[in-house]
Amino acid sequence: MARTAGLGIRGGAVVSGSFQGFDQGYLRESLARLGPGFVGVTQLPSTTSDAEIRDLDAAGIRAVRFNLYRGGPETIDELNSFARRVHDIAGWHVELYVDAAHLGQLADQLIALPAVSIDHLGMSAEGVELLLPLVDKGIRVKATGFGRVGLDVRDTVKKIHAVNPDALMFGTDLPSTRARRPFEDSDIDLISEALGDAGASKVLWENSAAFYRLAEAQDR
C-alpha cells in the first residue's frame, strides 16, 4: 500500500497472482491487515470443498481467478462447473486472465455463466472486437495492467464504456509482476481524460464497489 498511499484508496480487491498457486495463507493475512473495505480474488482447484469455499468467503474472498493466458491446468468444462458452484455457494464471480482474441470459441459458455470478468482489457488489439459483444451481454472487464497489453488503452476503454458503462473496473495491477512497465499514476489520469468525470467515477470506484460487493466487506 506504500505505493498507493497518496491516491486516497479506501477499499478494493487484492488479486492472487498466478505464481502464488493455491496457497491461501498470504491472501488471508493481507485481508486481515487491510481490514474492512477490501476483498480478495483467489485461485482454487476445482476439487475445493464447499466448506472451504464458505470459509474463504467469510475471510473476504469474493471471486476465483483462472489463468488461461499462461495455460492454467483447468479444462473449460472444469471452469464452467466450478464457476457455477462457487456462485451457488457464495455468490462469487470468476475472473479470467485470457487473450480476448481466443474468446470466440468460449463466448457462448462465458455468457451463460452467472458472473464473469476479463482481466487487462482482454490483452490484445485483435481481441477487442470479440470482447465487445460479451460486454454487451453483461461480462465485466478490468481496466488494469496497461503495461501488459498490446492495444490502444484509451481507445479500448472508450469502446467498452460506450457498450456498457457498468462494465469497466479500474485497478492498479500492483505489484505489476512480469509487466513490461508497472502501474503509473498517469493510468488513472488516462481514465479521467478518456471518459470525463462521471464516466471515470464509475470506472474508478462505482462499478467495482458493486461487482465486488464492497459494502458487505465493511461489515466483515
Each residue's pLDDT tens digit, 162-211: 999 999 999 999 988 888 999 999 999 999 999 999 999 999 999 999 99
Do 208 and 102 lie in a common domain?
Answer: yes
Query: Which of the residue ranges 13-27, 28-42, 45-59, 102-116 would you say has the lowest mean pLDDT?
Result: 13-27
Do 156 and 185 lie in a common domain?
Answer: yes
User: In this structure, is residue 202 part of a structural domain?
Assistant: yes
User: In this structure, is residue 219 part of a structural domain?
Assistant: no
pLDDT digits (tens, 9 = 90+) for 88-123: 999 999 999 999 999 988 899 999 999 999 999 999
**Residue 137: φ, ψ to 5°:** -95, 5
Q: Which domain holds residue 146?
A: 98-213
Residue where the block lists cell 455468457: 111
Going 38 to 155 to 98 to 85, the CA torsion angle's sign is positive
CATH code, domain carrying 115: 3.20.20.140
What is the average per-residue pLDDT within 71-93? 87
User: In this structure, is residue 5 part of a structural domain?
Assistant: no
CA 198 – CA 145 distance, rounded (Å): 22
Do 144 and 173 lie in a common domain?
Answer: yes
Quickly list DSSP for 76-94.
HHHHHHHHHHHHHHH--EE
Do 150 and 106 lie in a common domain?
Answer: yes
- pTM for the structure as a whole: 0.93
Do 58 and 102 lie in a common domain?
Answer: no
Do 103 and 162 lie in a common domain?
Answer: yes
Do 125 and 202 lie in a common domain?
Answer: yes
Burial 127-151 (b: 16+ CB within 10 A, else e): bbebbbebbeeebbbbbbbbbbbeb
| Domain total in the chain | 2
Q: What angle do CA 117, 149, 74 make, to 5 degrees?
A: 45
User: In this structure, is residue 209 part of a structural domain?
Assistant: yes
Do 23 and 84 lie in a common domain?
Answer: yes
